[in-house]
Structure 1
Amino acid sequence: MFLAGGVVLAFLIGWWATALETKGKLNHDPSEIVIDEVAGQWLAFLPVSIGASHAGADLLSLWPGFLFSFLAFRFFDITKLGPIGWADRRNDALGVMLDDILAGLAAALCVMLAAGFYHGVLGL
């Protein structure tokens, strides 16, 4: 549950810090701000971490889940599909944070679907 708290904390601190850093500047999402990526990626990792906790599994043994989480997050973060693109186009501090949170949420949903198929349907 530390990871879930970390996501919330990173989001709130990131929103505040991004607003301070970008105030009065034309670039609303400078490359040196990475806390948005951290929060989104942690959100994408959350289903794997929770699954490991419930199964009593070692986190390192679930590396395929973490790899899939990372790749799914990067896919949604790069393509900016649907509401992710809407959040990115807000051109404010909330949008900077929200697009990565939404990408992390989409990735987390993909991870849960993949895990359900892999473990539930295939029985692996």
Structure 2
Amino acid sequence: MKDLAELVGTFARIGFLTPAPGTWGSAAAIPVFWALNEAGGFGLVAFATVVVCIAGLWATRIMTAGATLGSDEHDPSEIVIDEVAGQWIALWPVAFGAQMMGVESAALWPGYLAGFILFRLFDIWKPGPVGKADARGDAVGVMLDDVIAGIMAAICVVILAGLAHGVLM
């Protein structure tokens, strides 16, 4: 069971890449997101994100079992499934926008780029609620801080898209 948890938690061992395993995990999440979106649209990526969150919580609990609450051991750098979940949430506006416009999501590549950069920024910087979630020091906090960072990035992607398309001018 621990081997399966490691496979899930490290996103098929991507989390062992250095330096910056979280950035590697976020980057690796993008082509998987794109493939899911092309296969089933926004509904499939939303469903897959929920599955990744649940599987990530399970894997994180197993991989951090016995870690001292609040220690660095509670969120080992090789666990990147939380980055996958957060990155996918950050890209939800791209999938939804592409579906609503009836275009391939790759046509919205600036949204992919903005989602990636903004998610990494919020995940590293940990402003407000992201930092509060991270401070929990448990498996829920490991997943939750990235989910919140993803939501914040998604909101910014929507705002940037509105500005780019003249909706907010």
TM-score normalized by the length of structure 2: 0.70
* Greater RCO, CA 8 A, separation 6+: 1
- Offset at residue 17 of structure 1 (A): 1.0
User: Which of 58, 83, 102 is the matching residue for 2:148?
Assistant: 102
**CA-to-aligned-CA distance 1:40-60 (integer Å, 9 cap, x gap):** 000000001100000011211
- Offset at residue 12 of structure 1 (A): 0.7
**CA-to-aligned-CA distance 1:40-91 (integer Å, 9 cap, x gap):** 0000000011000000112111111100000010110010000100011111
- Offset at residue 25 of structure 1 (A): 2.0
Q: How does 1:17-56 map to 2 (within 5 A)?
A: 17-26=59-68, 27-56=73-102
- Structure 1: which 4+ aligned runs deviate by more than 6 Å? none
One-letter amino acid matched to 2:135: R
RMSD: 1.0
> Identity across aligned pairs (percent)?
52
What residue in structure 1 maps to residue 47 of structure 2?
A: 5
One-letter amino acid matched to 1:108: A
Structure 1 unaligned blocks of 5 or more: none
User: Which of 142, 148, 161 is the matching residue for 1:115?
Assistant: 161
What residue in structure 1 maps to residue 57 of structure 2?
A: 15
CA distance in 1, matches of 2:168, 2:59: 44
- Offset at residue 121 of structure 1 (A): 3.8
